[in-house]
Amino acid sequence: MSFGHKHILGMDQLSADDITRILDTADSFKEISAREIKKVPTLRGKTIINIFFEASTRTRASFEIAEKRLSADTLNISASTSALVKGETLEDTARNLEAMHPDIIVMRHGHSGAPHYLAERCNFSVINAGDGAHEHPTQALLDLMTIRDKKGTIGGLTVAIVGDIAHSRVARSNIIALNTMGARVRLAGPRTLLPTGADRLGAEVFTDIKGALDGADVVMMLRIQQERQGSPLLPSNREYSRFFGLNPDNLQRAKEDAIVMHPGPMNRGVEIASSVADGPRNVILDQVENGVAVRMALLYLISGGEKMAE
């Protein structure tokens, strides 16, 4: 049984069967994190380099924990400590890393397509940990795992994604993944933060949170990036919060058993009220827990390579 993917670059490369296989594998790996000895020897002798050109706490910690629990040898490079600040090109950095024979590179980069660029040119496997405003496939997979855990299924659910859709790689990966799995996707955000042609993404578009929440099974809030505040795109946090913030009142429009998700880091009081973020329907920390299992599953599956087994 071969997984057939050497790289994980985006959700667009994964079929519904691939996704189901990843989630099933992640379910099995979840138990390891609950053990007293949280380690299995699966990736013993593999070298993994985590190279993060953008700030990250959660994703990077999650990848590193996943790698260590599978006994891989890991190495972290961040933008501030890398030769890129000395003017080295991405390709030269990659060539130099390649000469040290790593097995997998986990990369986050501010430019869309940077991981794809490496994957085309180098021998190692590449996992995209977020590229520009393009994709963040491991986030979408941990979101799917959380939805499947809580709802038993993904197909047929109505999922509302609310916030800065245009700049969100989390939204993009989730829209693709949810469509692949047969969920109905709704997008809501100020017109300035909706991508042009949002309706062509396979989603229903709302310019008001209320309509998007009506009868939703899953509410996925996105982070409002503070640096956009005061820009022409987003006049003020207070205004945003009034029209697009999730609060106990508008959450009543969603189904009674709806779950509330957030990829973090949260701006409490802006896109999500504290009482909702800490409320009974939030599954935000389940997302983080599932993130480790999903990343373990991906590392395991791509390490099996493209070879055919008996």
Partner 1 sequence: MSPRETVILDEPAIGRALTRVAHEILEKNKGTRDVALVGIVRGGDHLARCLQQRIQEIEGVELPLGSIDITMYRDDLASRGSLPVGKTELLFPLENKNVVLVDDVLFTGRTIRAAMDALMDIGRPRSIQLAILIDRGHRELPIRPDFVGRNVPTATGEKIQVQFNDNQQPVEVRVCKP
User: Is residue 13 within the footprint of partner 1 (CB under 8 A)?
Assistant: no
Q: CB of 160 within 8 A of CB of 220?
A: yes
The residue (of 85 and 309) whose beta carbon lies closer to partner 1 is 309
Q: Active site includes 228?
A: no
**What six digits make up the tokens of 258?**
């709806």
Distance CA 241, CA 170 (A): 20
Any residues with CB less than 8 A from the CB of 165 and at least 6 apart, and which?
171, 187, 189, 193, 194, 195, 198, 222
The residue (of 41 and 280) whose beta carbon lies closer to partner 1 is 41
The residue (of 168 and 290) whose beta carbon lies closer to partner 1 is 290
User: Is residue 85 within the footprint of partner 1 (CB under 8 A)?
Assistant: no
The residue (of 20 and 247) whose beta carbon lies closer to partner 1 is 20
Distance CA 8, CA 281 (A): 31
Q: Active site includes 281?
A: no
- Per annotation, catalytic residue among 5, 25, 30, 59: 59
User: Is residue 308 within the footprint of partner 1 (CB under 8 A)?
Assistant: yes
| Residue 183 backbone dihedrals phi, psi, to 5 degrees | -90, 160
CA geometry: angle 154, 6, 169, nearest 5 deg: 50
User: Is residue 31 within the footprint of partner 1 (CB under 8 A)?
Assistant: yes
Q: Active site includes 108?
A: yes
User: Is residue 300 within the footprint of partner 1 (CB under 8 A)?
Assistant: yes
Among 86, 152, 197, 309, binds partner 1 (CB under 8 A): 309
Q: Considering the complex, what minimum distance in angstroms separates the CB of residue 59 from partner 1?
A: 23
Binding region for partner 1 (CB under 8 A) out of 22-30, 154-162, 198-206, 231-239: 22-30
Distance CA 101, CA 123 (A): 9
The residue (of 46 and 169) whose beta carbon lies closer to partner 1 is 46
Nearest partner of 261 among 286, 283, 292, 244, judged by Cα: 283
Binding region for partner 1 (CB under 8 A) out of 17-25, 78-86, 177-185, 235-243: 17-25
**How far is Cα of residue 85 from the mean position of the Cα atoms in its chain?**
27
**Which 41-60 positions form the footprint of partner 1 (CB under 8 A)?**
41-43
Q: Active site includes 86?
A: yes
Number of residues counted as binding partner 1 (CB under 8 A): 31
Q: Active site includes 58?
A: yes
Among 8, 11, 23, 32, binds partner 1 (CB under 8 A): 32
Binding region for partner 1 (CB under 8 A) out of 6-14, 203-211, 283-291, 301-309: 301-309
Positions touching partner 1 (CB under 8 A) are: 1-3, 21, 24-25, 27-29, 31-32, 35-37, 39-43, 70, 297, 300-305, 307-310
Active site residues: 58-59, 86, 108, 136
